Amino acid sequence: MTLHSIQIGNVTIPNNILLAPLAGYTSYPLRRLCKEYGAGLCYTEMVSAKGLKYGSENTQALLYTDEKEGVCAAQIFGSEPEIMRAACEHEKLAPFPIVDINMGCPVPKIYKNGEGSALLEDPLLAERLVKACVKSGKIITVKFRIGICADKLVTAEFAKRMAGAGAAAITVHGRTKDKIYAGEVNFSEIEKAKNAVDIPVIANGGVFSNADAEALIARTGADGVMVARAALFDPQIFCDLTGTPRESKLTMFEKQLEWTMQVCDERFTTVFMRKMAAFYSKGERGAAAFKEKMFRASSIGEVLALARETWR
């Protein structure tokens, strides 16, 4: 993978390999881990603009960061321009110079509220959202899908609208809303977006190896790639993509557990790290038995002891 910096607004991203926002997972510990392994930019889990405006405790917990993480982008979702602008101006987003607007989430609850991928069907509203958020003074980017279904592809026109409204970069997930996360990535649609605008275009979808990343760049002309589900199973994929040395799985796990304890209580840390251990053991010999033991662990100490016994 050929690496180069990307300029997003007045922020220079050191390389063109990014970690996608992943609901339920890209909180501070995983972001910091991926950043350490080479990710040029990481995104928070998507955060409700209304939740920010009305002081949701859960929403604010998603936005924990510190100077050790470095530059990070926040992702928000919503469908009301003034509320979206207010979210961008909220003190909890002060540490994040870049705010990304989610226009690709396929989850029915989000879609039915007119948010996420539903905005692909209302480009005028999507433009108004971007323009309102730009007024906040934040660097605004947009992540969107190529359309609702194969008969309603909107990529190039939507990309133009987002750039025209003031977006400093776009990320294009090369699947339609109805495909969720399955099916082939449509390279030609991402290429159309790249050819339609003069702002950075990040390609998203199907990156599980260095070869996948190289193919995505070669076939779309995109400025960079975004890694999503692969990072859940192996955060050190960023080592492979950037040439950063790998370390042991146990060391990685211990770091993530320590950083999760830094921001979460014992119960949450225990449950979350059990899930991460299950991801990290996929494909290993004895993985089923390991996961069964792990999900019976009832404390941080038990989780850590089992990880050390397995990955020593």
Residue 13 confidence (pLDDT) above 90: yes
Residue 293 confidence (pLDDT) above 90: yes
Res. 224 pLDDT band, cuts 50 70 90: very high
Secondary structure of the chain as H, E, C letters:
CCCCCEEECCEEECCCEEECCCCCCCCHHHHHHHHHCCCCEEEEEEEEHHHHHCCCHHHHHCCCCCCCCCCCEEEEECCCHHHHHHHHCCHHHCCCCEEEEEECCCCHHHHHCCCHHHHHHCHHHHHHHHHHHHCCCCEEEEEEECECCCCCECHHHHHHHHHHHCCCEEEEECCCHHHCCCCCCCHHHHHHHHHHCCCCEEEECCCCCHHHHHHHHHHHCCCEEEECCHHHHCCCHHHHHHCCCCCCHHHHHHHHHHHHHHHCCHHHHHHHHHHHHHHHCCCCCCHHHHHHHHCCCCCHHHHHHHHHHHHC
Residue 219 confidence (pLDDT) above 80: yes
- What is the domain class of 6-242 according to CATH? alpha beta
Sequence spans of domains, the chain: 6-242, 249-311
Average pLDDT over residues 252-270: 95
Least confident of 2-11, 59-68, 252-261: 59-68
Res. 124 pLDDT band, cuts 50 70 90: very high
Structure tokens given for 311? 């990955």
Which residue type, as a one-letter code, is found at position 203?
A: A
Res. 295 pLDDT band, cuts 50 70 90: very high
Average pLDDT over residues 209-218: 97
Chain mean position to CA 255: 20
pLDDT at 305: 97
Res. 55 pLDDT band, cuts 50 70 90: confident
Residue 192 confidence (pLDDT) above 90: yes
Task: Of 236, 227, 279, give the one whose Cα is nearest residue 33.
Answer: 236
pLDDT at 183: 85
Residue 193 confidence (pLDDT) above 90: yes
* Same fold: 6-242 with 249-311: no
pLDDT at 4: 98
> Which residues have CB under 8 Å from 125's CB, separation 6+?
79, 81, 114, 119
Which residue type, as a one-letter code, is found at position 255?
A: K
Cα angle 111, 112, 116; round to 5: 20
Res. 128 pLDDT band, cuts 50 70 90: very high
Tens of pLDDT, residue by residue over 16-53, are 999 999 999 999 999 999 999 999 999 999 999 999 98
Residue 58 confidence (pLDDT) above 90: no
* Tokens 């080479």 -> residue: 38
Sign of the CA dihedral 48, 71, 245, 309?
negative
> Which residues have CB under 8 Å from 166's CB, separation 6+?
130, 131, 134, 140
Q: Indicate which residues carry an active-site annotation.
A: 105
Tens of pLDDT, residue by residue over 72-81, are 999 999 999 9
> Which residues have CB under 8 Å from 54's CB, separation 6+?
none
This prediction has a pTM of 0.95
Res. 182 pLDDT band, cuts 50 70 90: confident
Residue 245 confidence (pLDDT) above 80: yes
Least confident of 49-63, 93-107, 149-163: 49-63
Residue 226 confidence (pLDDT) above 90: yes
| Topology annotation, domain 249-311 | 1.10.1200
Cα–Cα dist 28/72, whole Å:
10
